[in-house]
Structure 1
Amino acid sequence: MLTPKQGRWLRKSHKWLTLFLGAQLLIWLISGLYMVLMDIDYIHGDHLVDDSQLTLEGKLASISPEAILSRYPEATKLELLPTALGPVYKLNLAGKPLYFSGQDGEPLEPLSQQAAMKVAARLSPGNLSGASAELLTESAPAEVGGRHLPLWQINLNDAFDSRLYISASSGELVTKRHDFWRLFDVMWMLHIMDYDTREDVHNPLLTGFSLLALLTALSGALLLLIAFKRGEEEAA
């Protein structure tokens, strides 16, 4: 059993730890609850596209991979990408991507606005009469990052600011975003306490607060045990 002095120190420590961690514990609770309650497929924006339009069938590619590689034997990687305009070969040459039509093997021209809207119309199950397209070449929103530039940003102009991002080089659907995803992203940032990249779940801030939260829980459990012990002794 702790001495009275040790008991006072423990209660005081538990109180200040609880006060210090209270806001973050509430944030963990709210953010975790949101992420658990939301359907992850909805968050990913699966309702915004018809995935059947992206089904990749080998028979749709009239040009074989060997035919493409025979032109560029120094290539390091070759992929066949599914797009709403048909299969596309992506070839890595000297660290740079090249794109070829899987139907005739010709190099792809950059996607025009009309072609980008055509891709969006094929992918989206909804009405795109109010949609607009913007070409992003130098910078992109944080929600998609700049590694995929150039991109066509298709604004669906709905109640949730839904957007499709389509590669201007290949016609490939890069990602989908909407307000519920953006809120999820904020909740994830708050939950893992990575306010920069929102990716590092092993950052020192999260580790430190987690250890303090564990210490708070253990001190509370010890105080509860002492209270029960004291109650039994008084009852005896």
Structure 2
Amino acid sequence: MRRLARWHIWLGWLIGLPLVMWTVTGLVMVARPIETVRGAHLRADTSQIDKTLPAQFALPATLDLSGRTIERIEIAAPDGVPLVWATQADGSVQRYDARTGRALPRLSMREAQGIAVAGTTISGVQAGSPPPARFFEADDVPFDFRRPMPVWQVAMPDGTHVYVGADTARIEAVRTRWWRLFDFVWGLHIMDLETREDTSHPILILFAALGAIGSVIGCVLLFRRRKARIKVPRG
């Protein structure tokens, strides 16, 4: 038991900091609902937008998708205008006017700003003064987006970043300040601040195993000490 006690002390010095870090970061991550972290409460209600296609609707013959590896076709009519989204094997997306078959160009900055403002409930945007926006290519997106697709980053007055797909014309992500804090503590929690995606690497596994061993030894010592403190009445 003395040997176990010494091991427990040395393991405590070794795993004390990671255990505190896991506890604190876990507390931060559960402090708010995940929907709030993802900014779902900031998205505008689009249920009233007419997305119904005419009963006799058919794709025009001028819509030519030949020569491309298309994985998914989506058809919808936001604001009553029928559009086609063709997603290719490499993940790139091309929009088409479903009435004429004409390929639509990438969003302009003004269009992206309008989508970000109309698609969220974030206040503070003054009329005639759209929030600043910056374009990023698929291979150079900001760290808080981390998806290989061309996007417009629209910086809202409250510090939220609204990402609008340049090809999809949709809000692809809403990154609040709390999301960015959550993302940082998540990286600490899994001990991967570089990509914040690797949840199974040797350092994390090692400290998790040491933490489990230290906890088991502590439980053994706890029951042993409790038994030793029981006094036997004298006859």
Aligned-pair distance for 1:153?
0.9
Query: What SS does the corresponding residue of 1:228 show, helix, strand or coil?
Result: helix
Aligned-pair distance for 1:169?
1.6
**Alignment partner for residue 24 of structure 2, among 21, 25, 30?**
30
Percent identical residues: 25
Gaps of 5+ in 1: 1-6
How far apart are the structure 2 equivalents of 1:54 and 1:152?
Answer: 25
In terms of mean alpha carbon deviation, does 202-211 or 79-88 score higher? 79-88
Aligned-pair distance for 1:102?
3.9
Q: Is 2:213 the partner of 1:224? A: no
**Alignment partner for residue 42 of structure 1, among 36, 40, 43?**
36
Q: Is 2:117 the partner of 1:124? A: no
Aligned-pair distance for 1:155?
0.7
Q: Report the AA paired with residue 213 of structure 2.
A: L
How far apart are the structure 1 equivalents of 2:149 and 2:55?
Answer: 24
User: Which string of whole-angstrom CA distances, capped at 9 and with x for unpartnered residues, describes residues 126-180 of structure 1?
Assistant: 342262111223622111125012x11111122xx11101111221211111110
TM-score normalised by length of structure 2: 0.82
User: Which string of whole-angstrom CA distances, capped at 9 and with x for unpartnered residues, describes residues 80-130 of structure 1?
Assistant: 276966564222457453221345432111111111122122112234226
Aligned to 1:79: 73
More helix by share: 1
Aligned to 1:90: 85
In terms of mean alpha carbon deviation, does 101-110 or 217-226 score higher? 101-110
> Against the structure 1 CA distance between its residues 133 and 68, is the aligned structure 2 distance closer, same or farther, given a 3 Å change threshold?
farther
> Against the structure 1 CA distance between its residues 12 and 180, is the aligned structure 2 distance closer, same or farther, given a 3 Å change threshold?
same
> Against the structure 1 CA distance between its residues 141 and 94, is the aligned structure 2 distance closer, same or farther, given a 3 Å change threshold?
closer
Aligned to 2:207: 209
Aligned length: 225
How far apart are the structure 1 equivalents of 2:181 and 2:119?
Answer: 24
Aligned-pair distance for 1:226?
1.5
How far apart are the structure 2 equivalents of 1:10 and 1:227?
Answer: 12
Aligned to 1:3: none
RMSD across aligned positions (CA): 2.9
How far apart are the structure 2 equivalents of 1:55 and 1:30?
Answer: 42
2:83–2:96 CA contact under 8 A, matched in 1: yes
How far apart are the structure 2 equivalents of 1:77 and 1:61?
Answer: 25
TM-score normalised by length of structure 1: 0.82
1:99–1:107 CA contact under 8 A, matched in 2: yes
